[in-house]
Amino acid sequence: MYGVNNIRFGGIASGLDTEDIVNQMMKIEKMKVDRHHQQKQVLEWKREDYRELNSKFLNLRNEAFDMRLQSSYMSREVSSSNESALSATAGSSAIEGNYEVEIKELARGVNKTSDVLQSNDDISNLKAQFGEDIGDEVSFTLKGQSGEQAFTFNTEEVSIHNVVREINNANLGIRANYDANIDRFFLMTTDTGTNSELSVLTDDGFLSDQLKLNLDESTTLQSTESLGESINTDEKLKEIFPELVGESDVFNISIKIGKDVEELSFGANDNIDTIIDEINDKLGEDVASFNDNKFSINGDEENNVSILSDEEGLLTNIFKLQMSSETGVNSKINFNDMEDLEFQSNDVEIMGINMNLQQAGETVNLTVSNDTDAVVEKITGFVDKYNKIIENISTKLGEERHRDFPPLTDEQRRAMSEDEIEMWEEKARSGHFRADPLLNSIASNLRMATSSPVEGIEGDYQQLSAIGISTQNWQEQGKLHVDEDKLRAALSDDLEGVIQLFTQDRVVEEDENGNEVVEKGPGIARALHEAAGNAIDSIRQRAGIDGLSHDPSFLGQQISREEQRIADMKQRMIRTEERLWSQFSAMERAVAEMNSQSDWLASQLGQMG
């Protein structure tokens, strides 16, 4: 049934199987639709195959673009007189020659390793690990290259592994680690050089006492830099440091000198003199002072100074005090006649030479030379990609067309297994490009680009065959073969000439009559880039671009026309089916009427008898 799915009963009066008769008559119409479906399928296969080829041409064009660049042929290799002290590689910009490198110092970061912590066996939380003396809460503030952060932990809720994770997740440029096997804690910077920093701004004793880190505690804490010019110490904090004070109204601090601990509180309206007097009143005369625009807190020979807490940042942010601060060390080298060059890491780049410094106190000689192997590999790789395209086109052009294997209809598919369908469609899809004029033209242009001499080159290497790249058998349809020995010899003899053969720009000028004259032809890579680009454009006109909602290409328009034909034919099938049913229904009514009349006559004759 091809029309509306109405429930129909035929043949009641005539005894005919009306539905079967209609279906048989409609099969002829359906065969016409199937033929157009098959034609549409062939067009879609051709479009898919063209587009697949175009993706290969796009790859070839990209490869040819790279081969147009001189840097593709300027591969360098570096030999080091002492690989264990200095290993090196070189980019294309490196200049051939000999270089002397004296490694005076290696770059280092900051590393702090604790003494053995003497932890308890239970390390499920900090209090279990270190005992009741640790208290209910620990806090400290760290500053690294990427910023600073205060940490506070409940000792009954977090373990040392939680502490490690929180420090690492803060992304300060500081990494923490705890090794339970040796019961030691580690803090280190993630980078090296003087930009790397590991500073302890505050510590309530957790880092120094429980984690046993040597914080280089001092008897004096002083501002790490001048707080300003000609600061008036009786002026309010919020007026001297408006940006640093911000919205803070109260500053709570806790200072420890020796065993004495004092918790103090100040306001934004307080001044430096008030703060100094308050600290000295609580912790001793001359403990706090302000000289040369720097703030100081002083202990004595036996008593170090510690900042236990500074939540609002009065001491660490405004007065710029730090309990412990270390920065990394830059690497330092002499490079030829350039002395004391400093770098943030041990990976150093100078004049296109990339060096990895591994051992200080060594003088290493480097030799930079052409890497012929790398250039040969790049050229042969390019030739291989070209050959694959040529082979693919040749295969398509020579494929046998199996005309007795048209695309399968839906009914045929339902009657076949998956393997049978796959085998059938393999034959059905082959041969659609046999002797295809467009592919023939593209293949010819590609072969022309690789076989023609390059105009305007004066040296010995004017075509590929001169450097060992040539065709061998005409049956291979232009496939190239590489004589690596001849190619290496050409690269050693005249690298610039080989580069020119591949990369030369096209130069066109006009003669006295205004006619164009080719002064220089495009190099091989440039000619192939043009040929591949032209192939892409031609195929796009033929098969369009994948992913577009509307395909204006030649095949796209043909497919659209087939789709419209199929839609029109299906509408005609519906009308034809309706007409047949209407005709058979009329026949059934006529037969029924005749049967009724026959029955009436028989009845009348029976009464007369």
- Between CA 225 and CA 316 the distance in angstroms is 12
User: What is the identity of the amino acid at 196?
Assistant: S
Poorest-pLDDT segment among 429-438, 524-533, 543-552: 543-552
Tell me if 530 sits within 8 A of 541, measured CB to CB: no
105 vs 316, which has greater pLDDT? 105
Q: Which two tokens stand for residue 89?
A: 């590689």
- The mean per-residue pLDDT over the stretch 2-24 comes to 61
160-182 core/surface letters (b: 16 or more CB in 10 A; e: else):
beebbeebeebebbbbbebeeee
Tell me if 369 sits within 8 A of 110, measured CB to CB: no
- Per residue in 576-603, pLDDT (tens digit) is 888 887 777 777 777 777 777 777 777 7
Residue 9 has pLDDT above 60, yes or no: no
Tell me the pLDDT band of 14, cut-offs 50, 70 and 90: low
Residue 47 has pLDDT above 90, yes or no: yes
Tell me the pLDDT band of 4, cut-offs 50, 70 and 90: very low
228 vs 103, which has greater pLDDT? 103
Tell me if 325 sits within 8 A of 268, measured CB to CB: no
- Between CA 321 and CA 224 the distance in angstroms is 6
| pLDDT for the residue numbered 15 | 61
- Between CA 556 and CA 59 the distance in angstroms is 24
Residue 486 has pLDDT above 90, yes or no: yes
Mean pLDDT score of the chain, rounded to an integer? 89
- Between CA 417 and CA 435 the distance in angstroms is 33
Q: DSSP of 489-504, one letter per residue? A: HHHHH-HHHHHHHHHP
Among 224, 202, 218, smallest CA distance to 293 is for: 224
Tell me if 198 sits within 8 A of 174, measured CB to CB: yes
Question: What does DSSP say about strands 362-370 and 347-350: parallel, antiparallel, or unpaired?
Answer: unpaired
Tell me the pLDDT band of 31, cut-offs 50, 70 and 90: confident
Q: Which two tokens stand for residue 132?
A: 């009741």
Among 441, 522, 540, smallest CA distance to 67 is for: 522
Residue 292 has pLDDT above 50, yes or no: yes
Q: What are residue 187's phi and psi, to 5 degrees?
A: -125, 135
Q: Which two tokens stand for residue 268?
A: 């934004």
Residue 176 has pLDDT above 80, yes or no: yes
Q: How far apart are the first and last CA of the chain?
A: 49
User: Is this structure's pTM higher than 0.75?
Assistant: no
- Per residue in 201-216, pLDDT (tens digit) is 888 889 988 999 887 6
Residue 279 has pLDDT above 70, yes or no: yes
Burial category of 132 from C-beta neighbours within 10 Å (exposed 0-12, middle 13-18, buried 19 and up): exposed
Q: What does the DSSP 8-state code read for residue 526?
A: H
216 vs 111, which has greater pLDDT? 111
- Between CA 143 and CA 189 the distance in angstroms is 10
CA distance readout (Å), 153 to 138, 159, 298? 5, 9, 29
Tell me the pLDDT band of 12, cut-offs 50, 70 and 90: low
| pLDDT for the residue numbered 182 | 95
